[in-house]
Amino acid sequence: MQKSILILGACGQIGTELTLALRKTHGNDHVIASDIREGSESLMESGPFEILDATDYDALEEVVAYYEIEAVYLMAAMLSATAEKFPERAWNLNMTSLFNVLNLGKERKIQKIFWPSSIAVFGTNTPKTNTPQNTIMEPSTVYGISKLSGERWCSYYHHKFGVDVRSIRYPGLISWKTMPGGGTTDYAVEIYHKALSEKKYSCFLQPDTKLPMMFMDDAIRATLMIMDAEADTLKVRSSYNLAAMSFSPSQIAESIQKEIPDFTVTYEPDFRQTIADSWPSSIDDSEAHQDWGWKSEFDLERTTTEMLKHLTP
């Protein structure tokens, strides 16, 4: 009998598209979506869905047993900007859900785990340009602290208990299918919506704040690639650096203005500027290239073309 896949946090920005991609590959009935709330129509109608709190171990264990789950993708998390407003809630969600899944792996109730980390693990003392895989990591946000802690626990459970957990450090993600959920790089999605609806946008970061970014199609492809890779080829069991492109708000504005010449942007930095200033401007992901063949496909111009095409009414 074919084993099933469980997505925790399936209604989020990444989870929605990841669920649909996995269903296309593995069959709708074998990919179980779950979240604490219902998701989009396409998500709900395409396959099984469970209301599930990822911090509830007993409920999670029951779903895993009922559907004969083999692999879990833990996408449930409170992101950077929102987590700064609710630090204890963020820590509880981000860490308890991870321990629940790692312990299911330790008990051999699931065989494979995907858990996403983030460029938020880096800090102000990290080299900002071409940030290496192994470097100084002193995160200054609750989200970053939880992700760095999670990386160390993933590595520990792999080496101590043989848990097959795999991870990548996502940069900022750009998607037209689902709105982002409270991250510092959310401007790079909002700006396309505002360009089409209002022809103007007020950005919460300074115009020259360059950050690593990625179009969602690349992020989903990377996630599927690392989960399909042979276990013995994966040398990094904390989390792999992942990169595609780096740009600033002014650069993304210029790319949009090539398509919408009368689009204007003003800049009113808020508390998210401090978070962005602590993150790298570009990432060295050569180990992902070497170990499991990663290579990005989308640059800024192609991303802008795709976003405007799909968001235009």
Q: State the Cα–Cα distance between residues 264 and 260, nearest whole angstrom.
A: 9
Residue 230 makes CB contacts below 8 A (sequence gap 6+) with none
Residue 59 CB-density burial (10 A; 0-12 exposed, 13-18 middle, 19+ buried): middle
CB 131 within 8 A of CB 118: no
Residue 210 makes CB contacts below 8 A (sequence gap 6+) with 246, 247, 248, 251, 281, 282
Q: State the Cα–Cα distance between residues 288 and 32, nearest whole angstrom.
A: 28
DSSP letter, residue 55: T
Phi/psi-derived region of residue 122, left when phi > 0, alpha when psi is between -120 and 50, beta in every other case: beta
Query: Which of the residues are catalytic?
Result: 143
Q: State the Cα–Cα distance between residues 218 and 239, nearest whole angstrom.
A: 17
